[in-house]
Chains A and B, each alone.
Chain A
């Protein structure tokens, strides 16, 4: 009798494990149809109406980027994640300003810069900056000096309005090492604002000099959106006062 019981328990636990695995960990075999994506965005987000899905780009087996065009001719971004055997829309921005998608927020090498710049904005490249303000602290005789971080990386725009870029390898290392030495205990003792010492990513458009800046319509940078879960940072325009001499 007990052998039979053991056998049943064995079968049951195998089924449960397999079921849990299938439900939570299995990978998608197909991408949703564009028509379906369009309908689903329009169902969950009423501020805009998607008229066309431009593309579906898999970042890895579970993360999907879907750029779209809406009724009032805005170029937007939507972010999809495979969860519990379904493609869920995790975040959306109704204009295509650059967004930092932290796919695994503990691992900066998984971070992606994603944008969908409106074709009216005809600048030739987007320049991204990694920066941190210089700072110093003296607490109970313990001195700290934080060097200024200021790096830039230019990505030329292609004929497609949307693009996905990895962070440069050294940026990912710098972010990782900053996270490693971050000590919330020590920071809380100080009255200084610890955001001051944190790294920031910002960007600015790069124009062909002869045409001036009249082609920056800015329609790519002010929009609405939502996110439920995930880790997304909107990458804002760089403020010139944050930049130092670069020779």
Chain B
């Protein structure tokens, strides 16, 4: 019901645009305040703005996320009802209540405006979006069929800007391993390692699990929303041929 969106506080584009939205709302509130004869107390203005935010809205999927489109000014109605017998007070607060409702749209525009920033700062087809820091990086086997392995950090760091995205063919990968017509020793897990301890790019709010292909040249990055597959021309792992 509320349009107030809870975002990850570590998501830089959202935080930046929301700060700008707050500044715009503050400027508008200040303008109303100055142009008004009757000056209400500041804390009351803030309260009215906050209640004015309440709105019935519907949720729309946009790109990989959801946005809430406000339709009915619920908070304004509540305030109108509260002040139904106090016309002078209502005249004093009315504009702030509507500004509260308008703020929903300002936040909505801010949310849309954060998408291009997101695209620019965290391109989905660049490995360096998902792996920005590697100083704590480590590799573990996920499967008993994987040999002991160590991560070639130097190669990984060099490849961060060079590895290319490739399409994921999940069904074929799966079927190739479970196909009983193929001799068992050839059907081994495609991604038997995981890299731990890396950090995604600052402000991206990404959480990742990074699976490593058996030949050491492929990375399957899993985030909360999607998977991305990157290939390199040299192996990132010592211990695989």
Provide the residues of chain B in CB contact with A173, threshold 8 Å: 140, 196
A106 within 8 A of B: no
B192 within 8 A of A: yes
Q: Which of A57-87 contact B (CB under 8 A)?
A: none
Provide the residues of chain A in CB contact with B190, threshold 8 Å: 145, 147
A136 to B227, CA, bound (A): 11
A149 to B146, CA, bound (A): 11
A135 to B47, CA, bound (A): 51
A244 to B180, CA, bound (A): 13
Q: Find out whether the CB atom of B142 lies under 8 angstroms from the CB atom of A147.
A: yes
Q: Find out whether the CB atom of A134 lies under 8 angstroms from the CB atom of B178.
A: yes
B207 within 8 A of A: yes
How many residues on chain A are close to B (CB under 8 Å)?
Answer: 29
A138 within 8 A of B: yes
A-B contact count, CB below 8 Å?
A: 91
Q: Tell me, rounded to whole Å, the shortest Cβ–Cβ distance linking A190 to chain B.
A: 13
Q: Find out whether the CB atom of A177 lies under 8 angstroms from the CB atom of B220.
A: no
A183 within 8 A of B: yes
Sort A-B residue pairs by CB-CB distance and give the 10 closest, nearest first. A136-B170, A145-B170, A147-B191, A183-B224, A143-B168, A170-B140, A143-B170, A136-B174, A180-B207, A246-B144
How many residues on chain B are close to A (CB under 8 Å)?
Answer: 35
Provide the residues of chain B in CB contact with A177, threshold 8 Å: 194, 196, 209
Q: Find out whether the CB atom of B143 lies under 8 angstroms from the CB atom of A186.
A: no
Q: Tell me, rounded to whole Å, the shortest Cβ–Cβ distance linking B222 to chain A.
A: 5
A148 to B189, CA, bound (A): 7
Q: Find out whether the CB atom of A147 lies under 8 angstroms from the CB atom of B224.
A: no
B142 closest partner in A (C-beta): A149
A151 within 8 A of B: yes
B223 within 8 A of A: yes
Provide the residues of chain A in CB contact with B122, threshold 8 Å: none
As a 0/1 sequence over residues 172 to 191 of chain B, the CB contacts with chain A under 8 angstroms (1 = contact) are: 01100110000011011111
A194 within 8 A of B: no
A134 to B191, CA, bound (A): 10
A168 closest partner in B (C-beta): B140
A178 to B143, CA, bound (A): 15
Q: Tell me, rounded to whole Å, the shortest Cβ–Cβ distance linking A137 to chain B.
A: 7
A150 within 8 A of B: yes
A247 within 8 A of B: yes
Q: Which of A143, A145, A181 has the most CB of B within 10 A?
A: A145
Q: Tell me, rounded to whole Å, the shortest Cβ–Cβ distance linking A95 to chain B.
A: 29
B135 within 8 A of A: no
B169 within 8 A of A: yes
Q: Find out whether the CB atom of A151 lies under 8 angstroms from the CB atom of B196.
A: no
A174 within 8 A of B: yes
A195 within 8 A of B: no
Q: Find out whether the CB atom of A147 lies under 8 angstroms from the CB atom of B168.
A: no
B225 within 8 A of A: yes
Q: Tell me, rounded to whole Å, the shortest Cβ–Cβ distance linking B16 to chain A.
A: 24
Q: Tell me, rounded to whole Å, the shortest Cβ–Cβ distance linking A54 to chain B.
A: 34
B171 within 8 A of A: yes
B175 closest partner in A (C-beta): A136
- Known pairs A186-B224, A245-B185; A147 contacts B211 (CB<8 A): yes
A6 within 8 A of B: no
A5 within 8 A of B: no
B208 closest partner in A (C-beta): A181
Partner of A135, one of B143, B174, B187, B211: B174
B226 within 8 A of A: yes
Q: Which of B169, B209, B224 has the most CB of A within 10 A?
A: B209
- Known pairs A136-B173, A137-B170; A144 contacts B227 (CB<8 A): yes
